[in-house]
Structure formats: C-alpha cells, structure tokens
Chain A
C-alpha cells in the first residue's frame, strides 16, 4: 500500500502530460538544434569532466587547491547573474548569435556538475584501482577500464547535462540573439501564446529527449561491455 502511495506521489505530475494530446509532431529546426546541442554537450561534458577530474585526482601541483575551487565555485554562480558579463565577453570574440557561442555558455552551466560527478565517482572507485590503469595506453585505458567502470557515472553526467541544457531559456535567447531556436525557447513562446496543445507538445519533447538518450546510452554500454568481455576471454 505504501509503495503505491510513494509511486503515486512521485509519478503524479506526469498526469499533466496526458491532459491534451499533441496534435502533430513536426521535426523542425528547433528540435534539430536541441538534439545536436544535447549530443555534443553530453559528449564534451563526459570528456572534459572525466579528464579534469582525472587531473584533480592524480596530479600533484601547487595549483591544485586553486584549481579545485576554480572548478567548484561556478556551481554556485547563478546563471542569471553572470549572463550579461558573458555576453560582453562573447561579443568581443564575435560569438554572439553563433552556435559556438551558445554551446560555450551551455557548457559553462553544465561542466561544473560533470567535473564534480566524475570526481566523486573516481573517488568511490578508489585511487589504487585507477592507478593500475596508468600502465595502459590512453585509448585502451579509456575503452577497456574507465568506460566500463564509470558506466553509471557517464550516464548520469549525460543525463544531468541534458536536463540542464534543456532548462535554459533566458541564456540561449540572449547568447543566440534569438537566431538559434531550441525546443525550450519555442516552449516559452507557446506558454506566452494561447496554444495549450503546442506547449504540451514541446513539454513532451523536453522529457522524451533525456529519457531516450539515457536508454540509448545504456544500450550502447551494454553492447560495448559485452565486446570488451569477449576480448578479455
């Protein structure tokens, strides 16, 4: 009984999704942009997150404490607060209204989480186990040991970065100068208008993208691990 109650409490907000059915599903530029951003940022976050966490874990340097704080503090800087300064900086680089500019600021909002998640996971696995892999060449180290070991962490990093990226409206609108539509910016316009079905359709997309990605990565890992196991035998 209490199980049903708990499940009900956790799942009830999803009821909202079924109040109206999305009329038609059209693949458009906004969905395309969103999917590309999510994939690219997921990949970059895994790469930079694990790489940076690796450095923090294994490199002895007198800068270490400073670097730790430098990668940690951005977690606590509200996006709204830094957005305008970032705009000025990116305008100097000519990156406003470009895909690279938007990708960069989205990376800013996600990377601190990824580094933290990767670091915590490596910490749990423990230094001794990871140190043994240092004898392997970088690529096989990554493919044969780190990937399978950090499987769940990588999934979590991708999930986190995806969900954070999909939440950004104000930031994408400003840095993209309105020229780069995503499902989220579209959703805001739908909220503002009168179209309930359109708003709900965008909400569906926003939830389905992370779910599918999470399942997809899980599947890919399954295949990869089976391959690695085959090689080891």
Chain B
C-alpha cells in the first residue's frame, strides 16, 4: 500500500510539472531578441537527406552563429511532413512549449501548417535582412500567399540531369522525353507523387499538355491515360516507383537509370565532383521549368523564438546566402534580390554561375513558370494511383 502511495505521488508530480507552461514571447525588436537569445540553443528541424546541405549548416552556419551571437544551433534531421504532423499533434494536446524552434518548409506542408494555424506570424518586420528579399519569391509559396508566416530562404528551378555518356541526343521537350523512354526502356523513372519532386514532375507534364489552364485541379481523364502509356517503358516496367528523390538519385548514381531530376539547378555539381554522380552528368531544361521557393518558419509553440529570429537573420545575410549558392556545400539559389545588394556582393553572386552541370541561366530564366496551386498537387496525389496500378 505504501508503494502505491509513493507511486501516486510521483504521478501527480509529473502532472503538476506538465501544467502551467506558457508560450514563449517574441521580443519587440531584433536587438532585444538577439540579447535574449544569447547562450541559448535553437532546434532547427529540417529534411536531412542531403549531405551537402547538412554540412552547410553544421560546418558553415553553426560556427558563425556561435561566434557572432553566442547562439547554439542544433540541426535535427526529420522529414518535413513528419514534423508538421508532430506540430499538429502538439496543437491538439495544447502543448505550448514545443521542441521545434525553427523549421524548413514549403509547398503543401506550408499550406497545411498555415491552415492548421501552426505558425508564428509577422516575422518579416522583426528581421533586418528581410529587407533584402526578392519580393516576388517571398510573396507566394507554390500558389499559397505567405502572409508573413514564413521567410524565403532559397529560390530554385526544376531541372533534369542526364548522363551524357549514355544519352547521346538528349530530348528537348517532354514529348521527346516520352519517345526517348520508349527507345530506352527501363532507363527512366520518377519518384512517387507523394514525394515533392515526383509530384512536380507530373505537374510539368500537365503543364506541357494544358498550360496554366489546368490550375483549378480538374485533371482530364485523357491526361492519366496518356501518362499510363509511359509506364511500360519505365524502370521495372513501372510496376514500382522510387519512394523518394534520394532513391531515384541512388538509381542514377548506380547507372540503373540515365536521368534524374529535382528542384535546384545546381544540385548535381557537388555530387558529380564527389564522384557520386557519373562524370557525364549534364543539365536538361525542357520547354518549361517550375520555379520554387523554400522557406523558414517558426512554429506557434517554439520555446526559443528569439533565437530562431537570430538564426533566420543570419541565414539571410549576403555572406551566408553566397556560401549556400556555392557548389562547395549546397548550390542553392539565393532568395535575395541582387539589385538590393552592394555592387561587390552582387558580383560575387554572378561569379557563381559557372558549373559543368549548370544549365544556361538565361535559358532557364526564360522557361521559368510559376507553380500551380495546392489544388493541383492534391489532385495529382489523389488520382495518380490509376497510373501506378
């Protein structure tokens, strides 16, 4: 009986400890936020599947933050959808002191988080470097207005990469790509449409057929019938698809397929230099390419929102953005407006445009199209199963 009492006591203590927590407050100015953030740790949740991105954060950003602001940056690798779901569970459980301080997010994950009211608002005016942002990139996220709930971190376009040693006459349009897969059975595939990249590939095909008109999410049956004709010539006869872009990259690196794809026109450079991707890797820009921006956001229950602001400001600094765009780490396009920068900074960015696997920047800019809204992303996800069957 005595044990039982002790046990009950411990239980009630745990309950007491859990109650009475309140949401952390954001300081009114950046200087105060930086002061508050001193000697604190920021938990930065981000997709962790790319070695170059991870090294950029761990080797470049984290030491700078420590030195300049005395802030510890803790990179937590997790799939975006997973931590958004975690936040939605937090919301349901009224958990006001969460574990996530800062997160990397975009597209339908952002749309979900915004709809479920999971994000802190009014971020822009508290971050000095936000004044340098490319306003067009900042305005919308895959068709959803950002409304100050997230801050643009990088700006990229969709490209394919192919191995020039195997692909002698690369296609120039999506129709030619279709014919190419028929002539080279088993050498092409794309990730499942639950994957960010796989979904985007299908959106490109949709755009090739119907242009901007398909933006309402009503996809004609003929489109799916046509897409189904791709299947027999894909990798494993289209009976299965890579679950993620990383798996497609693995197939490409191993030489099983001869093309890969992804947002970020510079993403293949470091992989090729490291010998992961074949030496013959080159970029392929077809008739159009969706431009995509990715963002940083602070969740409603961040324990250290001030630290998060400090980190965002640092990530938006011209030096950090320049290091990010360099192929050494990541090769991710800047979200800043180059015209708002000093001449020397601007020149440094323009110098980065040379790379063996980079597409021609003018041609890429020329073919850039805005993304469809979330309605199309959802529709593709719902209906694509007809192709996979």
Contacts and interface: CB of A to CB of B under 8 A. Distances in A.
Q: Find out whether A and B make contact in their complex, taking CB atoms under 8 A apart as touching.
A: yes
Determine the main DSSP class of A at the interface with B. loop
Interface string A166-194: 00000001100111000000000100111
A87 B17 contact: no
A91 interface: yes
B329 to A, nearest CB: 16
Contacts of B77: 178, 189
Interface stretch (A5-13, A53-61, A92-100, A114-122): A92-100
Interface stretch (B87-95, B119-127, B137-145, B202-210): B87-95
A88 B249 CA distance: 37
Interface in A16-30: none
Contacts of B89: 84, 87-88, 91
A87 B93 contact: yes
Nearest to A94: B18
Contacts of B221: none
A173 B246 contact: no
A179 B76 contact: yes
Contacts, number: 62
A192 B244 contact: yes
B14 A93 contact: yes
B316 interface: no
A92 B99 contact: no
A153 to B, nearest CB: 25
Contacts of A178: 45, 76-78, 82-83, 99
Contacts of B86: 87, 174, 177
A193 B49 contact: yes
B276 interface: yes
A173 B78 contact: yes
A88 B92 contact: yes
A51 to B, nearest CB: 12
B48 interface: yes
Contacts of B90: 91, 96
Contacts of B83: 178
A193 B99 contact: no
A179 B48 CA distance: 13
A47 to B, nearest CB: 14
B99 A177 contact: yes
24 contacts: A84-B89, A91-B95, A92-B15, A92-B93, A93-B15, A94-B17, A97-B99, A177-B86, A178-B76, A178-B77, A178-B78, A178-B82, A178-B83, A189-B48, A189-B77, A192-B244, A192-B246, A193-B49, A193-B50, A193-B51, A193-B246, A194-B51, A194-B276, A195-B51
Interface of A: 84, 87-88, 91-97, 173-174, 177-179, 189, 192-195
